Amino acid sequence: MNRRRWLGWGCAHCACALAGAAWAEVGADWAPPPRFTRPDVGSDEGGLWAMMDREETRLRRSPFRMRDAGLEGYLQRIVCKLGGEHCPDMRVYAVRTPHFNASMAPNGMMQVWSGLLLRVENEAQLAAVLGHEIGHFMQRHTLARLRDIRSRTAFGTFISMFGLVGAVGQLATIAGAFGFSRDQEREADQIGLVLLERAGYDPREAARVWDNLIAELAANPGNDPARNSPMFATHPPSAERAQALAERAAGRSGALGEADYAARLAPLRFELLADELKRGRFDETLVLLDRMLQHQPGQAELLYYRGETRRQRNQVGDLGLALDDLQAAVHEGGEPPATHRAIGYLCRDLRQPEASRQAFERYLELAPQAPDAALIRHALDEGKPSS
In a domain, 257, yes or no: no
Q: pLDDT per residue over 75-89, tens digit each?
A: 999 999 999 999 999
Q: In total, how many domains does the chain have?
A: 2
376 and 287 assigned to the same domain: yes
For residue 244, give the nearest of 25, 82, 32 by alpha carbon: 25
Measured CA to CA in angstroms, residue 215 lies from 175, 264, 287, 290 at distances of: 21, 25, 7, 11
Half-sphere CA count of 80, side-chain side, radius 13 A: 10
Q: Which pLDDT tens digit goes with each residue over 322-372?
A: 999 999 999 999 999 999 999 999 999 899 999 999 999 999 999 999 999
- Which residues are within 8 A (CB) of 61 and not within 5 positions of it... i.e. 6 or more apart? none
Q: In what order do the strands lie in the sheet with 109-113?
A: 91-95, 109-113, 102-104
> pLDDT at position 325, please?
98
At 322 the pLDDT is 97
Bridge partners for 102 per DSSP: 112
Residues 6+ apart with CB under 8 A from 297: none
Question: In terms of domains, do 168 and 285 share one?
Answer: no
Q: Does residue 258 lie in a domain region?
A: no
**Is there a single domain that holds both residue 313 and residue 218?**
no
Q: Check whether residue 307 and residue 229 sit in a common domain.
A: no
User: Which residue range is the domain that position 335 belongs to?
Assistant: 270-383
Cα–Cα distances in angstroms (integers) from residue 19 to residues 14, 24, 83, 190, in the given order: 8, 13, 22, 18
Identity at 163, one-letter amino acid code: G
Among the three residues 192, 217, 249, which one is the final residue of a domain in this structure? 249
Of the given ranges (108-112, 185-189, 237-241), which has the lowest mean pLDDT? Answer: 237-241
